[in-house]
Structures are given as C-alpha cells and as structure tokens.
Amino acid sequence: ISVNTIENNIELITKELSDNSYSALIETNSEGDIIREYPVNNLQDCFVSDTKIYYIARKDELYKLYTISDSIQTETKISYPTENKIYYRLAVDENNRIVIYTSNEQGDSKLDFYDSDYSFIQSKSIESLSSFLFHDNRLYYTDNLNLYYTDNELNICKSDIDFNIFGSNPTFSQGNDEYSFLFSNDEGVFGYKSDIGKYDKLLDFYKEGTDKLSRTFFLNNKSELIMCNSYSLFKAVFQNASEKEIINIAVFPDELYSND
C-alpha cells in the first residue's frame, strides 16, 4: 500500500491482490471511500504531483511511465527494459522534471532525469536510494547515511542536516505548515522543524504497542497523521497531549487471515 496527498485531501492507494488476478491504483477520500479505480499491471512505484498521478508499470517486455490526469490514463514515451532491472522509484522535482531511480542486479544505481515533455536530460550515478522527500520546495533523496538534493544544474549536493538525528532505519514523508518534513524510525513518527533544527515525536510505537509502519505516512490538511501497514490504512487523531485515538479508516479483508 502506498499513499500520497493530492488536492482537496484526496489520497492515492496502490493495491495488488494476493492472487495476482487483478491489480489497480485506487483513489480514495480521507474516509476510505473509493472514488475511482485504475487497472494497472505489475506496478513498480507511483507519485502524485499537483493533480497528476505518475506511475511505472510493466507492459509486455518493458517498464513504462504512465500518467493519470482528469481520470485519463496516458502512456508516455519513457520506458525501460525489464531484464536486469530490480528496483524503481519515481518522483517529480520542483521544476517538474521527472526523476526515476533504477538499480540492477549488479548493484549499479542511478537517477535518470526527464523534462516535462518526457525527453531525457541526463543520468547521475549514485550509491543507493531509500526514499524521496520534499523539503524547502526542493526534492531530496536519502540513502542510509545521508540526505542529498540536486540543484538547478542537476549537481548532487549533500544536505547539511545531521543524518544521525533520524535514528535507525528512517523513512521520510512530506511535511505541512508546522513541520518541514516527517520521518519515521524504529521508535515512532517525528515532525522535523528546519528553522530550529529540532523535531517533535508525533507517535510512539512502543507506547501505542504497534510495529513500525511502512514508508507511507503523512499529515493531511487537518493535521491528522495518516499511516499504513501491509493491510490497512490508519488515521491517528491527536486531540491533546494526553489523549490519542487511532482509527482504522480502510481495510482490505482479502489480505487478512481472519476477521479479527
């Protein structure tokens, strides 16, 4: 399951059924009601930018980039051969350039940059990538040791933010008016404030008795924390410092072993 925000508090959920007979991108509202379903085979990754959805999926012997705009699915001219490719990640930067991360079986990793017309610009070799995030209106990426960004000339620059503050196995997500971005580690979910270089703990996994969730989590425009694991989409509502309520707002029973 993967979730991101779109205008008017719409979330995008990617789902593939366990029997592999059908897979789709599923667009829902914040209450978990399905708005629209887009058939997609062998989805690799997706990204929401403004009102356009980008995703990479397999067609025949190629992985191709597609877009969804005004409910219309469009195949772009960007494609990759399926052989030797083992991992894809996708993002769109602040200049509407498309960034695709690829890694093959030999461990060769790179960022491919395309313009808004889907024309190739250039590639940059990198060590690895764990996640993309937006910070100060700029696209960043992380490996397991550092935080990086690309400037307007597509030079890769290391951030001056101390990566050690993010703890063990961090993943990142977008922020809001209060937090520059969010990060999650083995202990919980945190909101980082870049103006003072400090962070707040938003959710304590040990206190709430839950395991670490996936890389998917964010604060919506109501400052509610939306999270998901392998089965469900959750909303954590923070009413005050001493009272927290976790509400299950969407569940996919076909992936559960019981109705508990």
Tokens of 29: 């509202």
Which residues, listed in sequence order, are joined to residue 256 by a DSSP beta bridge?
Answer: none
Whether residue 246 contacts residue 208, with contact meaning beta carbons closer than 8 Å, is answered with yes
What is the pTM assigned to this prediction? Answer: 0.74
Whole-Å CA distances, 90 to 40, 120, 134, 139, 260: 16, 15, 13, 11, 35
Q: What secondary structure does DSSP assign to 59-99, as a single string?
A: ETTEEEEEEEETTEEEEEEEEEESTTEEEEEEEE-TTS-EE
What mean pLDDT is predicted for residues 100-126? 92
Most confident stretch, 71-75, 196-200, 217-221, 227-231: 71-75
More confident residue, 43 or 233: 43
Residue 43: what pLDDT?
Answer: 84
Whether residue 233 contacts residue 219, with contact meaning beta carbons closer than 8 Å, is answered with no
What mean pLDDT is predicted for residues 142-162? 88
Please provide the average confidence, as pLDDT, over all residues in the chain: 78
Residue 230: what pLDDT?
Answer: 58
